[in-house]
């Protein structure tokens, strides 16, 4: 009788323990599901959302996209930002003489004038206002005789050697 009674007692303790664990598991599950929304911190009304902004100098934003070096009529193209930036800085440091008009409303003459054997071309993605270019790079270009030129756009700068 002693061994059979012991087995019934251990089965009874195991069943009670199992029932208590199931009840405890249900209790914790309910608490997790009901209280999870309460644990999310509320946003403060006076707080500001900060975002990281990489600020670039305005001159870096308006850099040409391509540089073409022409030597003896042969062209070599580069789009390296460092090289283009260095050339643009050299232009910024340059001094400019008096503006003169070389071609007036003659496409064939302009085409011949734009062909060069030695030099550098800086190409822009789209049209760029010449007055904006001068003000962005602080160029000392005198537009007094050519007021209509300040409203003109360009897409390419040529530097002949």
For tokens 């904006």, the residue is: 132
pLDDT tens for each residue of 82-137: 999 999 888 888 887 766 667 777 788 888 877 888 899 999 888 988 888 888 88
Give residue 17's pLDDT: 94
Calculate the CA dihedral of residues 26, 30, 31, 36 and round it to 10 degrees. 140
Give residue 108's pLDDT: 84
pLDDT tens for each residue of 3-57: 666 778 888 899 999 999 999 999 999 988 887 666 656 655 555 666 777 777 7
Per the confidence metrics, is the pTM higher than 0.75? no
Question: What is the DSSP pairing of strand 74-78 with strand 118-129?
Answer: unpaired
């Amino acid at each position: 009788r002693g061994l059979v009674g012991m087995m019934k007692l251990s089965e009874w303790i195991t069943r009670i323990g199992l029932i208590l664990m199931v009840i405890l598991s249900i209790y914790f599950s309910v608490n997790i599901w009901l209280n999870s929304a309460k644990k999310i911190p509320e946003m403060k009304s006076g707080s500001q959302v900060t975002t990281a902004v990489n600020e670039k100098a305005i001159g870096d934003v308006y850099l040409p996209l391509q540089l073409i070096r022409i030597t003896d009529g042969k062209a070599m193209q580069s789009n390296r930002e460092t090289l283009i930036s260095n050339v643009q800085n050299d232009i910024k440091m340059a001094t400019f003489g008096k503006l003169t008009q070389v071609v007036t409303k003659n496409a064939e003459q302009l085409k011949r004038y734009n062909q060069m054997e030695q030099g550098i071309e800086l190409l822009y993605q789209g049209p760029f206002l010449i007055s904006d270019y001068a003000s962005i790079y602080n160029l000392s270009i005198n537009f007094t005789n050519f007021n209509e030129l300040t409203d003109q756009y360009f897409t390419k700068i040529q530097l002949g050697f």
